[in-house]
Amino acid sequence: MNLNTLVKTVAQRYGDKAVIIDGARRLSYAGLEEQSNRFANALTGLGVRKDDRVAFLLGNSPEFIIAFFGVVKIGAIAVPMDSKYKLAEIKALFADCRPKVLLTESPCIEPLAPALPGFDHLQHVIDLSAKPAGRFLSFHELLSGAPASSVGREPATDDTAVIAYTSGAAFDPRGIMLSHGSIAFEAEISGEGFAQTDRDVVPVFALPLHHAAGLTIVGLTSVYRGSTLVMLGGLSISGILELIEKERVTLLIGVPFVFSLLVAHAEFEGIKNDLSSLRLCASGGSPLPVEVSRRFKELYGRHIAQFWGLTEISAHITIQPVDGSGVPGSIGKPLRGCEVEVIDDSGTVLPANRTGELVCRGPLMQGYYNKPEATAEVLKNGWLYTGDIGHIDAEGNIFITGRKKDMIIPKGQNIVPADTELVLSWHPKVAEVAVLGIPDEPRGEVIVAVIRLKDGETATESEMRRLCLDNLANFKVPKEYIFVDFPLSSAGCKVDKEALRRRLNLPPVFQPLVK
């Protein structure tokens, strides 16, 4: 199935039923089909063709989903980007994917506007703001001036629909190419995993739509299943509890950080809202602490089903049983059509309870955009090498116990340390830098920068932080800066971060499992 067929089918099936609620605004399934058709026709009129890239710098909104379907209906490629990125990061991503069109809004557009003439590939900027300033094309005017008829072509299932950039690596970008067929299949099996139906009401809250998990697991799965999405801006715990009561939310999908905040809220303020409609909570992005899961069940009376996946495999491919019968600490079992195995360094499949690298197959990416060598490193014989370390028990439950890849996951957001290390290396006083993650409650991890200055130089934490804030999205900025006077690496060698962690007495991120 392609994504054009998906939205057309659900529009015929559900008609006037609300697909999105945003405050007092209701958008129906039929309205989503009509408005996405209008945007598809408007883009065609602007000269956008198959495989042209359309960049998204947007927050969560109904317009995001309308625009997404409009883009993919004509065979163009949607390229969602984090609206918190700074100019240097956006320039690096634009240089990689060379978008023909940019969809953005205030306030994202203000710091970017002076740099726009420098992007020779960018032919159109479309402003989705409710009250556009008039400098760029208006999304709402484009919709009103375009026909609502279906577009003339049907994308193939193996056509690329999305290039999804991993959030932590802008300066060495890896654009994950996902096909129409892979995304549609992920939406199908994701809904099966959550036992999701057209009676479910799902908030767009902790997982932003620019992220593959938010777009696919929350957004497209809900559209596929005929559910209703409810928009909620910000990360207000009292706000999500009020929304659950007001809109009768049934399914809350988040990250461990959010569930830690919900636990803290209940412990300090109690639970004052009617949450009786809530049938299921699910958590992904990073390991859910067993204690958070236990306390949440005690306080809210609900199980949290943990799931796992990667953008390279369209979103998520495992989940614990939704009835609460899963093994604590596990990430569940594979969804239909997906497989997970554990291998050693030679590629040999390991038996139950032996630790190694997790490899998986299912709705895999087509590869990294314009990076065949990087693709070959992780896609081998139809299997994705995830870089996660773990084991599978005799009953088939999967556990993650470490990472082979250099990754930090604060608040469920994957961060590649290389971006932060690169920016800090720009400082003229810095000789060497290494960026690590250390465990933190409730964030999961926080970022720590270890810096050796050049001989005779002195520097402060504040000037390092300012350099990062000026050039990096805020979630990549270290929380702590440690200055050392010893070399971080030997000549010609990479920094041994685990040895550095031990030398500085920093705790390991993964603790041994208690059985």
More confident residue, 515 or 17: 17
The CA distance from 315 to 166, in Å, is 12
pLDDT at position 168 over 70: no
The CA distance from 72 to 23, in Å, is 27
Structure tokens at 218: 């929350």
Question: What is the number of domains present in the chain?
Answer: 2
Domain C-terminal end among 161, 179, 197: 179
In CATH, what number is assigned to the domain containing residue 78? 3.40.50.980
What is the pLDDT, as a whole number, of residue 512?
53
Neighbours of 24 (CB within 10 A): 5
Neighbours of 82 (CB within 10 A): 20
β-bridge mates for residue 342, sequence order? 358
Which of 114-123, 132-141, 147-156 has the largest mean confidence? 114-123
pLDDT at position 5 over 60: yes
Q: Does any domain span residue 263? A: no
Q: Does any domain span residue 43? A: yes
What is the pLDDT, as a whole number, of residue 511?
62
Alpha helices in 325-415 (DSSP H): 372-378
Judging by DSSP bridges, how do beta strands 383-392 and 356-361 pair with one another?
A: antiparallel
Q: Which residue has the tokens 């739509």?
A: 209
Q: Does any domain span residue 325? A: no
The CA distance from 221 to 186, in Å, is 8
The CA distance from 476 to 167, in Å, is 9
The CA distance from 505 to 139, in Å, is 53
pLDDT at position 132 over 90: no
Q: Does any domain span residue 510? A: no
pLDDT at position 515 over 50: no
Express each pLDDT in 180-214 by its tens digit.
999 999 999 999 999 999 999 999 998 899 999 99
Average pLDDT of the residues of the chain: 94
What is the pLDDT, as a whole number, of residue 150?
92
Express each pLDDT in 56-112 by its tens digit.
999 999 999 999 999 999 999 999 999 999 999 999 999 999 999 999 998 888 889
Domain C-terminal end among 164, 179, 194: 179
Q: Does any domain span residue 145? A: yes
Q: What contacts 289, CB < 8 A, 6 or more positions away?
A: 256, 260, 441
What is the pLDDT, as a whole number, of residue 131?
81
More confident residue, 290 or 14: 14
Express each pLDDT in 278-323 by its tens digit.
999 999 988 899 999 999 999 999 999 999 999 999 989 999 999 9
Q: Identify the DSSP state of 217.
A: I
pLDDT at position 514 over 60: no
Angstrom distances, CA of residue 490 to CA of 425, 496, 510:
17, 9, 26
In CATH, what number is assigned to the domain containing residue 470? 3.30.300.30
Q: Which residue has the tokens 């300090």?
A: 268
Express each pLDDT in 326-371 by its tens digit.
999 999 999 999 999 999 999 999 999 999 999 999 999 999 999 9
Q: What strands lie across the sheet with 124-127, from one edge to the other?
A: 137-138, 124-127, 101-104, 53-57, 77-81, 160-165, 175-179, 367-368
- Reference 366, options 317, 314, 318, 315; nearest CA is 314
Of the pLDDT bands very low, low, confident and very high (cuts 50, 70, 90), residue 167 is: low
What is the pLDDT, as a whole number, of residue 371?
96
Q: At what angle do helices 62-73 and 3-14 cross, to 10 degrees?
A: 120
Mean pLDDT of the region 460-481: 96
Domain C-terminal end among 179, 210, 238: 179
The CA distance from 277 to 18, in Å, is 18
Q: Does any domain span residue 476? A: yes
- Reference 66, options 43, 85, 45, 87; nearest CA is 43
Q: What contacts 272, CB < 8 A, 6 or more positions away?
A: 241
Domain of 94 in residue numbering reads as 3-179
Q: Does any domain span residue 26? A: yes
Q: Does any domain span residue 330? A: no
